[in-house]
Copies of this chain bind each other. A is one copy, B any other.
Amino acid sequence: MKSQIVTFLIKCPDQKGLVAKITNFFYEKGFNILSCQQYVNSIEDTYFMRVRLNANGINLTKNELENSFLELAKPLNFDWSVNYGDKKQNVAIMVSHTSHNLYDLLERAHEGRLNCNVTMVISNHNKLRHIADMFNVPFYHLPITKETKKVQEAQVKELLDTNKVDLVIMARYMQILSSDFINHYPERIINIHHSFLPAFQGANPYRKAYERGVKLIGATAHYATVDLDEGPIIEQDVKPVTHESTPTTLKIIGADIEKLVLAKAVKNHLNQQIIVSGNRAIVFPEAGE
């Protein structure tokens, strides 16, 4: 293994000695443990760990490491995954006609602030093509109607699979994806919803927020699941607003919240900081390595 960062994410039934056993394993293989974060859910008796290793000077292939780890993982019933720092994830961004999230994601990726390749932008409208063009990212205009929904989704799927897309970002795509589509990419689709979920699920949250007279508005980034707006929440934030706000000004204030919330959720995902457990997302803070 070349010098690189290796990240293990582990979920298993809680039991005595887990942290000792796991850290010993990596210590004995010669790894330097950069950080080791754990979380015990004592309501469900479940144990979660994220370990970041420096593979500098380790004489093991990836296969050897994983096979060896399996011997530890099996008897302890680990649900686990490993990621290697030498592989950049492929990302696709789906949009409709609001531009702020798209600009923000492309800018971060372009300047190296998001560790990924943006392979394409897909939209049911042609309106944002100029932004993808600016950043030299392929733009696919795939319109959608009730009648063509199935065909369109198949086209999207083919694009994603042909380009080996690891993560789909719904940056205000505003279309409801079919269960089939969503189930094809479990924990691999991140959606931004423009409210502090579970408040104002569904359409027009800013109008509903105005009508309800709330004193704060927000945004929520979550993994897409079959139940609309019900997936595991990765990141949320709010800003205070006043009675002066109209649905239009709420939209403008909200745009800035959405940008930061979505970008942070995507970064956490790309950085392997997330383990999903049922409907809850365990999001380990970025360790200051």
Q: Which residues of A contact B (CB under 8 A)?
A: 16-17, 19-21, 23-24, 26-27, 32-36, 38-40, 42-43, 99-100, 103-104, 107, 111, 113, 134-135, 196-200, 211-216, 218, 232-238, 240, 242-246, 249, 252, 255-256, 260, 263, 279-283, 285-289
Q: Is the CB of B238 within 8 A of A238?
A: yes
Q: Is the CB of A23 within 8 A of B34?
A: no
Q: Is the CB of B279 within 8 A of A211?
A: yes
* A38 partner residues in chain B, CB cutoff 8 A: 35-36
Pick the most buried of A38, A238, A244, A286: most chain B CB atoms within 10 A of its CB: A244
A49 to B205, CA, bound (A): 28
Q: Is the CB of B286 within 8 A of A39?
A: no
Q: Is the CB of B233 within 8 A of A214?
A: yes
Q: Is the CB of A19 within 8 A of B16?
A: no
Q: Is the CB of A20 within 8 A of B24?
A: yes
Q: With A233-B212, A243-B280 known to touch, is A198 a contact of B197 (CB < 8 Å)? A: no
* A35 partner residues in chain B, CB cutoff 8 A: 38, 40
A103 to B109, CA, bound (A): 13
Q: Is the CB of B17 within 8 A of A27?
A: yes
Q: Is the CB of B287 within 8 A of A244?
A: yes
* A23 partner residues in chain B, CB cutoff 8 A: 19-20, 23
Q: With A103-B107, A235-B215, A283-B242 known to touch, is A19 a contact of B33 (CB < 8 Å)? A: yes
